[in-house]
Structure 1
Amino acid sequence: MVSFAHTDDGTAENVWAVAHRSPELPAQPLRIGDMRRLIVVAAHPDDETLGAGGLIARAGRAGVPVTVVVLTNGEASHPASSTHDPERLAALRRIEVSAAVAALAPEALVRLVDLPDGALTERLAEASRAISAEIGPGGPGTWLVAPWSRDGHPDHAAAAAAARQASLIGGVSRFEYPIWAWHWSTPADPIWSDGALRTLDLTPEDWLRKAQAMALHRSQVQPLSGLPGDEAIIQASFGAHFERGHETFIEIETETTSSLAGDFFEEFYAGNRDPWGFETRWYEERKRSQTLAALPRQRFGAALELGCSIGVLTAGLADRCDTVVAVDIAEQPLLVARARLADHPGVTFARLTLPAEWPDGSFDLIVISEVGYYFSAAELRTVLARCRDSLAAGGVIVACHWRHPVSEYPLTGDQVHAEIGGLAGFECTVEHRERDFLLEVFEAAPAQSVAQREGLVP
């Protein structure tokens, strides 16, 4: 753990403000559209407000059920106090956290676990069980948000570890929030390059509720008395980090999932030419027509199709593009695809394991259709980075994915599109959302609509 004290000068907030406006801290927006439940873990009362108060407020106003799990009572916050012993501090801070969470989201539940402050590392099993009890069966849309494992405080690291153990159940999206790292680290510290940073811009209402909640943690933001040992823990310079117009989270990849391997697909295609029904299902024909109709230009030069399968969509792309490079991880579907498009000299096929293997060339169009959720979150980010690097100037990314959960898949379709939507420098110009699938087009910002390109609107 890092050695620091709340009385240290720490890194000034204006240093972080400059870094947040520069490439020094690359972050993508935190997209909360798929959040159906929010469980926030706090090692101590006030962690939830400092690190995730705006998120709690946003979820509460949206009608998302919120539970805050407070692992300790924070009774060790003032070890040198002569006016407040640990028992009195515990009672006070329990009242404060209940009032603060009510200010953030009046319908939110607060679970006080009553583990010893400063000793969470020795009580990980109990902490994990308490968090697991709130997660229940989990499932898509369940968000678990806990202190950052690299925050420098042993109780925060323990809370992160307990959340990790509790989230091994499937379908839980996990995030962590920094608190003390804003104080002891700097923007150049390598800890910030290790995780996928996400930021949530706070609305004025979110910000106000957070400020009101923080003021309710009086034992932390105000002196307990004028005597030595009763000084405020959250002093003005430190508190400034939590008066920003945004909150920062680190998205944690679920360790139990990895990209699906080639063997999975070879077995899936064994003895079955078209296991997904691309050639026979009206659902697939209709979706394919909508995908082609969403292309923002009548014609493209070079196209790349990831996960082409048996080449049915590839045939449609061949009619709209001068050349198409179509890749897949399995050989069996590629045999069918090559036969289907044998008379199209502009179409080439390659068996590649993405993202480790990648086709050469620059492309005007990249199609990611029903393939993104086969990757782990980390490998999907690598795939998208390679897509960005392979796009020609003015290039287009088209993505289309099934939205229903599939137990074997590492990600959901909505998670895939949230990741694509966070690509720096791109904006979504087409969005078609159905109960069954999501179809989106992404172009380099600032992008023109089809009508603008044709001079129909300014």
Structure 2
Amino acid sequence: MVSFSHTDAGTAETVWTAVHGDAAGVQALRIDGLRRLVVVASHPDDETLGAGGLIARAGGAGVPVTVVVLTNGEASHPRSRTHDPGRLAELRRIEVTAAVTALAPTALVRLVELPDGSLAERPEEASRAISVELGAGGPGTWLVAPWSLDGHPDHAAAAEAARHAARGRGVSLFEYPIWAWHWSTPGDPIWSDGVLRTLDLAPEDRRRKSRAMALHISQVQPLSELPGDEAIIQAAFGAHFEREYEIFIEIETEKESGNRASLAGDFFEEFYAGNRDPWSFETRWYEERKRSLTLSALPRKRYRAALELGCSIGMLTAGLADRCDTVAAVDIAEQPLQVARARLVSRPSVTFARLTLPTEWPEGSFDLIVFSEVGYYFSAEELRAVLGRCRDSLAAGGVLVACHWRHPVPEYPLTGDQVHAELGRLAGFERTVEHRERDFLLEVFEAAPARSVAQHEGLVP
């Protein structure tokens, strides 16, 4: 752990502002997929400092919010002669409840009451308390906790407890810095440890956060004029939390599944054995409707050259052939390729190849790449390699469209939501279309800065 004190001068907010400015260069945190928010605080006030704006935004959007406060923060003033730990615990329980209500009136507060300063000694209890609030988790559930590299032992312990609770639940995990703004500097290597996300705060979010912070009276005001009763959150430190944005570190979850190997060709050859259409692509209305939506999401009417990854028996390939001058379709298994070739034998503009991605890759440049129902077959590492190949194979102004089933499948190394989360990290690209249903995600990515369909057609500037 880093050695620091709240009385140290610390890094001025102007230093961080010079680097982040309006957080340009840091990827945006979008909450439109958020369905439930669980925020972990090591101590009362952590939730407001690090994630108060997010709590306010989620509450304002009608998202259920729960704040899990692991300790009462009774060790905040160890030298106080006016407030013993019992009195401080009582005050801080009242303060955090009022602050969370100010952020989001319908939010729930869970007081776990583990000993302040000793969370590292109670990992199972901390993790269990978080797990209870997470329940089954699943897509759309966000778990937000203190940053593991924040320099405070209780924050590191809370982060570890949250990571343990997140495993196997399919949740999105984020961590928030607090003390790192104080003791570290922008060039500190700790900031290269994870993917930074920024949440721009609306005026109402900032107003609620400011009001909530003021309600943590025992932290922002002196307990008395006596030595040892000084305010913990002094003006220079508090300035870090008056920004127009909050920054979070996105943490990779599902490490067990993320380390699983990609599914091999033998898996698919066995899956197709004796069944030309095991997923019922030809007969299910679900599949027909999803293909229509995918084709409708393409931002241009016509494409020069398309690449379809994981074409299976060629149902979507046929639709692409009507919109593209050429289509290069690939799959890992030979059996579905035989069906696809027979289906499109009269379309010489369509070619098929059996390839094992990402080590094998088709030659050429494409202005459309279709990545549909295939990403979750890869390991986390190979998925990143595939997406890098996609980026390198796209022509200038090219489009990447992705569509994936959202429900977990035990045999698959990843979930559809994990695939699309990785797509959202693709450097240099931005999401221009998003269609989200309970069953699947359909998204389009284009090189930044991208223009909308209406802009391309001159309807808007």
Common topology (TM > 0.5): yes
Q: Cα–Cα, structure 1 residues 348 and 65, in superposed 2: closer, same or farther, change >3 Å?
A: same
Q: Cα–Cα, structure 1 residues 404 and 125, in superposed 2: closer, same or farther, change >3 Å?
A: closer
**Aligned position for 2:119:** 120
**Aligned position for 2:263:** 261
Please list, as runs of the form range in 1=range in 2, the aligned pairs for 1:105-184 lying within 5 A after superposition.
105-184=104-183
Deviating more after overlay: 13-22 vs 87-96: 13-22
Q: Deviations over 1:251-286 (max 9, x none)?
A: 222213226422543443333222112233343234
Q: Tell me how far 1:320 sits from its aligned partner.
A: 3.4
Q: Which runs of 5+ in 1 are unaligned?
A: none
Q: Cα–Cα, structure 1 residues 19 and 93, in superposed 2: closer, same or farther, change >3 Å?
A: same
Q: Deviations over 1:340-389 (max 9, x none)?
A: 556636524241233x6544443211111122344466654554344333
1: CA distance, partners of 2:102 / 2:379: 37
**8 A Cα contact 1:331 1:351, kept in partner:** no
**8 A Cα contact 1:325 1:350, kept in partner:** no
Of residues 324, 341, 353, the one that matches 1:349 is 353
**8 A Cα contact 2:310 2:332, kept in partner:** yes
1: CA distance, partners of 2:408 / 2:61: 23
Q: Cα–Cα, structure 1 residues 444 and 224, in superposed 2: closer, same or farther, change >3 Å?
A: same
**Aligned position for 1:214:** 213
2: CA distance, partners of 1:449 / 1:212: 39
1: CA distance, partners of 2:454 / 2:219: 56
Residue 301 (1) aligns with residue 304 (2): yes
Deviating more after overlay: 111-120 vs 406-415: 406-415
Q: Tell me how far 1:100 sits from its aligned partner.
A: 0.9
**8 A Cα contact 1:306 1:326, kept in partner:** yes
SS in 2 for 1:275: coil
Q: Cα–Cα, structure 1 residues 21 and 329, in superposed 2: closer, same or farther, change >3 Å?
A: farther
**Aligned position for 1:396:** 399
Please list, as runs of the form range in 1=range in 2, the aligned pairs for 1:406-445 lying within 5 A after superposition.
406-409=409-412, 412-413=415-416, 416-417=419-420, 419-421=422-424, 423=426, 425-433=428-436, 436-445=439-448
**8 A Cα contact 2:41 2:70, kept in partner:** yes
Q: Tell me how far 1:223 sits from its aligned partner.
A: 1.6
**8 A Cα contact 1:398 1:442, kept in partner:** yes
**Aligned position for 2:246:** 247
Q: CA-atom RMSD, angstroms? A: 2.8
Deviating more after overlay: 208-217 vs 377-386: 377-386
2: CA distance, partners of 1:448 / 1:387: 20
The one-letter code of the counterpart of 1:2 is V
Q: Which runs of 5+ in 2 are unaligned?
A: none
SS in 1 for 2:4: coil
Of residues 292, 315, 322, the one that matches 1:289 is 292
**8 A Cα contact 1:31 1:418, kept in partner:** no
Q: Tell me how far 1:49 sits from its aligned partner.
A: 0.7
Deviating more after overlay: 12-21 vs 413-422: 413-422
SS in 1 for 2:110: strand
**Aligned position for 1:82:** 81
Q: Deviations over 1:394-427 (max 9, x none)?
A: 1112222334454554555455445545655544
The one-letter code of the counterpart of 2:8 is D
2: CA distance, partners of 1:16 / 1:159: 25
**8 A Cα contact 1:334 1:351, kept in partner:** no
**Aligned position for 2:279:** 276
Deviating more after overlay: 4-13 vs 434-443: 434-443
Please list, as runs of the form range in 1=range in 2, the aligned pairs for 1:228-239 lying within 5 A after superposition.
228-239=227-238
TM-score, scaled relative to structure 1: 0.89
**8 A Cα contact 2:67 2:107, kept in partner:** yes
Alignment coverage as a number of residue pairs: 456
Deviating more after overlay: 289-298 vs 127-136: 289-298
**8 A Cα contact 1:402 1:413, kept in partner:** yes
Q: Deviations over 1:80-137 (max 9, x none)?
A: 2222222221221111111111111122121111111111111111111211222223
Identity score, percent:
79
2: CA distance, partners of 1:276 / 1:31: 32
The one-letter code of the counterpart of 2:100 is V
Please list, as runs of the form range in 1=range in 2, the aligned pairs for 1:89-104 lying within 5 A after superposition.
89-104=88-103
Runs in 1 of length 4+ with deviation above 6 angstroms? none
The one-letter code of the counterpart of 1:182 is W
Q: Cα–Cα, structure 1 residues 158 and 265, in superposed 2: closer, same or farther, change >3 Å?
A: farther
Q: Cα–Cα, structure 1 residues 377 and 64, in superposed 2: closer, same or farther, change >3 Å?
A: farther
Q: Deviations over 1:276-310 (max 9, x none)?
A: 12233343234323433433334323322222223
**8 A Cα contact 2:337 2:352, kept in partner:** no
Deviating more after overlay: 380-389 vs 57-66: 380-389
1: CA distance, partners of 2:383 / 2:186: 26
**8 A Cα contact 1:137 1:169, kept in partner:** no
Q: Tell me how far 1:34 sits from its aligned partner.
A: 2.7
**8 A Cα contact 2:366 2:398, kept in partner:** yes
